[in-house]
Amino acid sequence: MQYGMIIDLERCVGCHACTIACKAEWEVPVEFGRNWVNRLGPTIVNDEMAATYYIGLCNHCTDPVCVPECPADTEDVTFTDPKSGKTVTMEVAATWKDPFDGTVQIDKNRCIGCGACVDACPYNARYVNPALVDDVSEDGKADKCTYCKPRVDSGAIPACVQTCITGARIFGDLDDPESEPAKLVKKGAIGIEPVDGNLGPNSRYIGKKKDMDLLFGTSTPELADLNHVRRRAMLASLRRSATKTLRNVGMVGVVGSLIAAGVATSDSEKEE
């Protein structure tokens, strides 16, 4: 199974109902977005007037570049297929590709907030949510579209799909030839690959040629400089280790002071 979403450019009217529904569903900070709607045009494309929208979100790529860049400690995690009950155990960091539905997910408890996955994503579909602060990260945690996995696992559909007033978002299993998304792929729905990339984006688009040309001509990203991403991740990991050490040293110092104070008090009492 590979969940995917098809965006029908001819149906989208740019109302932003999908972005508002997403913010309400997942308490996304105002300044960030798990999805977005950007107006393109009107402009001339191949001697024709074109105007459309870039409806963006995480592409839940077949080969996501963000996943291997996560520097968080790995651990064995057992995944369960909500439909069959089958389980699979995998060694993963704080972000991974689900073995059953193909979505890309984040474990907020283990994310260290370094932003490496954010930098690695060429679509700018991830951000560090400053509201998600804990003992692991003082800067927040990585966040993004999850295809509303909890909703989908319970039998519902993503909030943006449910809210779209024109039915421009079509969600389902791309591996099921009878599903509407799979049928639209056969009709020409394609994802935006980065320049020289081969990530296999599973959020895809379909529409008139002039509008598709405008979308791909203005919104095709470059692949990230992974050397820069890895340097940032390394520095974040070093900072995290240093912070842990300082905290431990601080605790030792506090404990030592308390012990010393206790000994001094005891000696004083003996002298009296």
Segment 211-257, tens digit of pLDDT: 999 999 999 999 988 887 888 777 776 776 666 566 566 554 544 55
**pLDDT tens-digit series, residues 95-142:** 999 999 999 999 999 999 999 999 999 999 999 999 999 988 889 999
State the pLDDT at residue 268: 47
Separation of alpha carbons 268 and 36, rounded Å: 69
State the pLDDT at residue 230: 80
% of the chain beyond a pLDDT of 90: 79
Predicted confidence band of residue 66 (pLDDT cuts 50, 70, 90): very high
Tell whether the model's pLDDT for residue 72 goes beyond 90: yes
Separation of alpha carbons 187 and 10, rounded Å: 14
Separation of alpha carbons 245 and 242, rounded Å: 5
DSSP for 237-249 reads HHHHHHHHHHHHH
Element (H, E) at 21: helix 17-26
Mean pLDDT of the chain, nearest integer = 90
Pairing of strands 169-173, 203-206: unpaired
Q: Cβ contacts of residue 230 below 8 Å, gap of 6+?
A: 69, 116
Q: What one-letter code names the amino acid at 28?
A: V
- Between the alpha carbon of residue 59 and those of residues 164, 225, 263, the distances in Å are 18, 19, 62
State the pLDDT at residue 264: 47
Separation of alpha carbons 147 and 28, rounded Å: 14
Q: Cβ contacts of residue 95 below 8 Å, gap of 6+?
A: 66, 67, 70, 72, 104, 105, 106, 107, 111, 117, 142
Please report the domains of the chain, with CATH numbers, ordered by start residue.
3-227 (3.30.70.20)
User: In which residue are the tokens 């995998």 written?
Assistant: 90
Residues facing residue 195 across a β-bridge: 222
Residues facing residue 96 across a β-bridge: 105
Residue 215 structure tokens? 């979308």
% of the chain beyond a pLDDT of 70: 87
Q: Residue 258 — φ and ψ, nearest 5°?
A: -65, -40
